[in-house]
Amino acid sequence: MNRKYEIGFIINPESSEEDVKKIIDSIVDIIKKSNGIVENVDEWGRRKMQFPIQKHNEGFYVFINAEFEGHVFFEIERRLKLTEKVMRFIVLRLDDKLKKANRLTRKWKRIEKLSRKLGENSDEPEMIPDEDLDEDDKEVIDEE
């Protein structure tokens, strides 16, 4: 099952443009060989960092948005760890953020449905007696 990821990494500022391109291409190749989809490669270029990393005050920032299977994550992580010119990296699974947003949306829809079921049309929240709630409703309210 393909999931959406964002891969961000900072490359040593002493690296040449060719080295940066090779690193980006190696990550993109890993994704494509595993039947993944590269949605976007965003090269921010050389940026000043908030604090020094490996005695460097700036780095070359790259972000890749892609969709691939979970096992590919480990290969990408391994490649970034072994590449000496990569100073820092992070791989974020974007599905988690989407799941959380969808869960919150479902929760609010359920609460809205519950208030309509009880005949409340007011915009202001009112207290609902516990005896009017079923177990699912109580779970939704407790999550708040």
Domain ranges of the chain: 3-95, 97-143
Band of residue 139 on the pLDDT scale cut at 50, 70, 90 = low
Tokens of 62: 């790259």
Q: Give the pLDDT score at 82.
A: 94
Provide the whole-model pTM.
0.65
CATH superfamily, domain at 3-95: Ribosomal protein S6/Translation elongation factor EF1B (3.30.70.60)
Band of residue 115 on the pLDDT scale cut at 50, 70, 90 = confident
C-alpha of 72 from chain center: 16
Residues 6 or more apart in contact with residue 72 via CB below 8 angstroms: 30, 31, 34, 36
What's the sign of the alpha-carbon dihedral 11, 17, 23, 28?
A: positive
Band of residue 107 on the pLDDT scale cut at 50, 70, 90 = confident
Q: What is the pLDDT of residues 44-66, one digit of tens each?
A: 989 998 888 889 999 999 999 99
